[in-house]
Amino acid sequence: MSDKINLQKEIKAHESADDFSIGRNLSFAATEAYKRLRASLIFCLPKNENKNCRVVGITSSNMGEGKSTTSFNLAYSLAESNQRVLCLEADMRLPKTSKRLNLKTTPGLSEWLVGEVADINSVIRKIDSNLYILPSGSTPPNPSELLSSAAMRHTIDLLSQAFNFILIDLPPIGAVADALNVAELVDGMILVVRREWTTRRSLASAVRELRLTNARILGFVFNEATESTQKRKKYKGYTNRYSDNYYTQSPKKDPGQPE
């Protein structure tokens, strides 16, 4: 395996022109909201002279709350402030971000962790001058075990040498245990909460699970604060179909729900 990160390549992803929920396509109000989130994160995790890279996990209690959108847009905002940022797509069951960027998900994290890829540079994609993504890779039969492996710990240590921030997009806590297995590898966790979607019970359960792993909860992102009731009803019908995908090896076709 290569233990040296090379960020000089110019492999670029392309945002979908009609996807107005990510990156440079965001509205002014949304862009400003992510700038405030960026400022809060930097305040919560000030730079340490003994550790240049800050590693943050982003998860939610349920599916469809917008954790992947939040992960990428926060990474994008951090990169705009002259931080070198990696968006690590660790939701190997239902990867979202790389697909929305028109990127192939394979090879990616899963191939690297099992040793099918010898050079980690070959699976890191450059999106902008300071922004990179490491796609999830193919869906393995044991995502939870891979994320809690010594190889994952080594990967975080290796990537930390090249980036100022690593944002790890993790599966929902209410669906699988993956996020809990990564908790000890991160400096803190952000929980995404969606208006009129997240229940008090599921959020309380997620917080309790994180505290049992001694994870540091940095805060909460309140998502879709202006979402209409009609839109909520539209998406609610997808819940049962969508949840089944977290327990299969081969993700089904994305029904269009924001994640």
Band (7; pLDDT cuts 50, 70, 90): low
Band (24; pLDDT cuts 50, 70, 90): confident
Tokens 């990179």 belong to which residue?
132
| Domains of the chain, each with CATH number or no CATH | 23-230 (3.40.50.300)
Q: Are 85 and 97 in contact (CB under 8 A)?
A: no
pLDDT per residue over 36-70, tens digit each?
Answer: 999 999 998 887 767 889 999 999 988 888 899 99
Q: How many residues does the chain have?
A: 259
- Which of 20-34, 180-194, 214-228 is predicted most confidently? 180-194
Residue 3's pLDDT is 61
Give the residue-averaged pLDDT of 122-136.
93
The yes-or-no verdict on residue 30 having pLDDT over 50 is yes
pLDDT per residue over 168-211, tens digit each?
Answer: 999 998 888 888 989 999 999 999 999 888 889 989 989 999 99
Contacts of 231 (CB under 8 A, 6+ apart): none
The yes-or-no verdict on residue 27 having pLDDT over 70 is yes
Residue 104's pLDDT is 85
Band (1; pLDDT cuts 50, 70, 90): very low
> What is the residue-averaged pLDDT of the chain?
82
Residue % of the chain over a pLDDT of 70: 78
- Bridge partners, 105 (sequence order): none
Residue 126's pLDDT is 92
Band (84; pLDDT cuts 50, 70, 90): very high
214 three-class SS: coil
Contacts of 217 (CB under 8 A, 6+ apart): 188, 189, 190, 191, 207, 210, 211
